[in-house]
Structure 1
Amino acid sequence: MAVSPEAAAIIQRKKLQYCRWADHNQFHLFDQIALPEATFSFWKADGTIYHEFGVDYSFRSREEFINHFTTAFKSLQSYHMITPAEFEQTSPDEINAIFGCIYHAGIKGSDTEGHGTGGGHYHETWVRKGGDWFMKDLKFERIYWKAPSS
């Protein structure tokens, strides 16, 4: 089923907002792009769930995701760049989207500590609620992470 240009534009805009708001630690705005019951998971290149500082990066709700990243990103700086999406409409009210992504991240106030570049793909499901589209599921599959040698 073909995706309407209007639906594609709404989802593309909201994905750009996702990246900008994450980069500016504005997770409180995510109610404009994701459902309360949205799930979020982040996977490494070897097919295992990303795990850092005792946390599995698999979140069962928007609130759980927001609570984690609001705290985690206080000490980080990041910049996400995404590609236009590949879209597939699976029903009148559901669209799957795949976005390529390159991101840069590191500790605020440091030119080197924790800094690196990663890349991968976001696999997402978006659903229509009323006349708008909202993220229902996000799965990020990391292809690589490269940190400069000290």
Structure 2
Amino acid sequence: MDTQQLSALEEIRQAKARYCRLIDHKQWDSLRAMFTQQVQLRFHGTDGALTHEFTERDAFIALTADMLQQAQTIHQVHNPEIELLPADTARVIWSMEDRIIFPDGVPGPFRSLHGYGHYEETLEKHSGDWLIRTMDLTRTILAIQNSHGN
């Protein structure tokens, strides 16, 4: 691998780390800038069934912001499998873990969620930045607590 390829690998790792931090710190405008204008974002449950799909990044950001604004969250990714492709594109698979908690008094669709799975993504380099074009999140483990004490 040459230095340009090694640099691309590190830039992609940094971009995904930034994605996780921006969600957890609720920096929605900066998160929006992590995606190409045209996107395909799909989320799958542990049985593989499609649970959400977005073809507009603004719709994804709006729903994510609405759902998570008052939640405590942590998103982590690990073990990237990065394949650099021609024309400044890349395919990446990430192992992931996330935890979402709605504190007492904060309404949410559940009390807490703890999940594991994999992101499969296609990224494109635009004006020096690696942006997410497609993203499939498939859960392998998902534990949801609907109330305190459950």
Instruction: Using structure 1 for the length normalisation, give the TM-score.
Output: 0.84
Residue 10 of structure 2 is aligned to residue 9 of structure 1 = yes
Q: Which residue in 2 is equivalent to 1:58?
A: 53
Letter in 2 for 1:68: L
Aligned to 1:125: 122
1:75 CA drift (Å)? 3.0
Q: Is the Cα–Cα contact under 8 Å of residues 85 and 98 in structure 1 kept in the other structure?
A: yes
- Please give the secondary structure, in 2, of the residue aligned with 1:75: coil
Alpha carbons 1:12, 1:84 under 8 Å: kept? no
CA–CA distance in structure 2, aligned partners of residues 23 and 131 of structure 1: 24
* Structure 1 Cα separation of the partners of residues 32 and 97 of structure 2: 24
Unaligned runs of 5+ in 2: none
Letter in 2 for 1:61: E
Matches within 5 A, 1:1-150: 4-50=5-51, 57-109=52-104, 114-147=111-144, 150=150
- Amino acid across the alignment from 2:37: P
Aligned residues: 142
Alignment RMSD, CA only? 2.1
* CA displacement 1:106-146 (0-9 Å, x = unmatched): 21347xx6223100001000112233321111110111112
Runs of 4+ in 1 over 4 A off after TM superposition: none
Per mean C-alpha deviation after superposition, the further-off stretch among 8-17 and 30-39 is 30-39
Distance in 1, Cα, partners of 2:113 & 2:70: 15
Residue 75 to residue 132, structure 1, CA distance change in 2 (3 Å): closer
TM-score by length of 2: 0.84
> What 5-or-longer segments of structure 1 have no aligned partner?
51-56
Give deviations 1:30-63, integer Å, cap 9, x for gaps. 243211112211101111112xxxxxx2111211
